[in-house]
Structure 1
Amino acid sequence: MTTARTYGQMCPLARSMDLLGERWTILVVRELCLGPKRFKDILDVLPTLGPNRLTARLRSLEAAGVVRRSTLPPPAGVAVYELTERGEGLRTPLIELGRWGLGLQPSADIDPATTRADLIALSVSTFVDPDKLVGLKEIYELHVGRETFHVEIADGRMWTKSGPAPVRPDLSVTCRLRTFLAVVFGHKQAIDAVESGDLAVTVGSSEVVERAFDLMSGSELDYPVYVGM
């Protein structure tokens, strides 16, 4: 006997979709891939989700051991939701699914203004060539339009996280979204963007700028619909 909320199959994919297949659930997990978030933080970037539905989605993810509640250390001391170790196991398949979606033509009801630099950085940084990360320990802080996020490199891995860098970064840049997209997707060289004034560097050298955007490069991906923004 099954209910309308389950596929009722033993197949692992079906069981995964029993949890993740409800609308908004995967996007909640996506936001937590960028680091711990307050309830309000999630709602701010998914406003049409609504507080009641967000509560329900978080409860189901908690019950499945994907998400847990915790408190950030002082001075923040605020309650947040974060991925568990099991939840982290969703990072690669979800981002790979997003990369697959780059090849889909956006429908007419999708607003290009919802493009976010942090999600693009999350995608490309997850699949960076690990040979480029060997022996590298750096933090890049990016102010793109109204977004602020940072990229951490350590122990052969590269992570994109929401908010400012926790320590003084090796690089801090400010630019508009279209400049970020043009550089990341290979339509413009980072150093050219600096020289033209489109990319302002407040911390770091030209060498670090070039290295950072080389690591974040996703030029092998086809993303032309957003580059003109």
Structure 2
Amino acid sequence: MDLLGERWTMLIVRELCLGPKRFKDLLDVLPAIGPNRLTSRLRSLEAAGVVRRGTLPPPAGVAVYELTERGEGLRGPLIELGRWGLGLPPSAEVDPATTRADLIALSVSTLAPPEKLVGLKEIYELHVGTETFHVEIAEGRMWTKSGPAPVRPDLAVTCRLRTFLAVVFGRTRAIDAVESGDLTVTVGAGELAERAFDLLSGSDLGYPVYLGV
């Protein structure tokens, strides 16, 4: 707790679970932290071997921060905390306006039964409200990452946060959302959207009651 209990530290790790980030990227998603405190927290995490500085491959070639192997060890506990948070009661001090689809996907993407991932190598790109993120499936694992897919995705969809939550948490089927026009498939087919959201299902967790949407 001496290392991880400082304010903002676990939120920085959470963001890096979604992939490498530039200093500016971290400031954008954590605007209240301020550059000085962000610098201090990153230095502490680097010194502890949780975070390292790297460079994205060409053509980007920009400096980023990313989790080390030791830092990756925090992914499981963080995801469990995220799932716990989905069950908070309506009286809890949670602002639905700050709910992010990429973090929901990060929490539920590890719930897919391993047997459903065997032999799959696919990328899904999701545009939810103002967010863009992608989900990669390879070698029996599913990963949620920030930003657009690095290559042409097998599936790309656009929807509102309300629709995303309704499909992920089992209030409606993806194919029904496609037919109603609430979910637009821009790459791939509706049947693939149905499979993608089946793999992204968090229905066993129950609907996030604090959202009210």
The offset of 1:27, in angstroms, is: 0.5
Partner in structure 1 of residue 84 of structure 2: 100
Kindly report the root-mean-square deviation, in angstroms, between the aligned alpha carbons of the 2 structures: 1.2
- Paired residues in the alignment total 212
Partner in structure 1 of residue 152 of structure 2: 168
**1:179-218 superposed matches below 5 A:** 179-218=163-202
The offset of 1:103, in angstroms, is: 2.3
CA 1:173–1:227 in structure 2 vs 1: closer, same or farther (change >3 Å)?
Answer: farther
Structure 1: which 5+ residue stretches go unaligned?
A: 1-16
Structure 2: which 5+ residue stretches go unaligned?
A: none
The offset of 1:126, in angstroms, is: 1.9
Pair 1:85-2:69 in alignment: yes
Pair 1:225-2:210 in alignment: yes
Pair 1:151-2:135 in alignment: yes
Pair 1:178-2:162 in alignment: yes
CA distance in 1, matches of 2:200, 2:19: 18
Retained in 1: the 8 A contact 2:168–2:202? yes
TM-score using structure 1 length = 0.90
State percent identity of aligned pairs. Answer: 83
CA distance in 1, matches of 2:115, 2:61: 37
Partner in structure 1 of residue 98 of structure 2: 114
TM-score using structure 2 length = 0.96
Partner in structure 2 of residue 4 of structure 1: none
Retained in 2: the 8 A contact 1:181–1:227? no
Amino acid paired to 1:225: Y
Pair 1:33-2:13 in alignment: no
The offset of 1:104, in angstroms, is: 2.3
Partner in structure 2 of residue 49 of structure 1: 33
Retained in 1: the 8 A contact 2:175–2:191? no
Pair 1:142-2:126 in alignment: yes
CA 1:101–1:190 in structure 2 vs 1: closer, same or farther (change >3 Å)?
Answer: same
The offset of 1:106, in angstroms, is: 5.5
The offset of 1:42, in angstroms, is: 0.8
The offset of 1:107, in angstroms, is: 5.1
Partner in structure 2 of residue 67 of structure 1: 51
CA 1:130–1:108 in structure 2 vs 1: closer, same or farther (change >3 Å)?
Answer: closer
The offset of 1:193, in angstroms, is: 0.4
Structure of higher RCO (CA pairs closer than 8 Å, 6+ residues apart): 2
Where 2:78 maps in the other structure, the secondary structure is helix
The offset of 1:227, in angstroms, is: 5.4
- Tell me whether 181-190 or 93-102 shows the greater mean CA deviation: 93-102
Retained in 2: the 8 A contact 1:125–1:216? yes
Retained in 2: the 8 A contact 1:181–1:226? no
CA 1:226–1:110 in structure 2 vs 1: closer, same or farther (change >3 Å)?
Answer: closer
- The one-character-per-residue Cα deviations of 1:133-190 (angstroms, maximum 9, x if unpaired) are 0111100000000000000000000000000001110000000010000000011110
Retained in 2: the 8 A contact 1:182–1:227? no
CA distance in 2, matches of 1:90, 1:149: 21
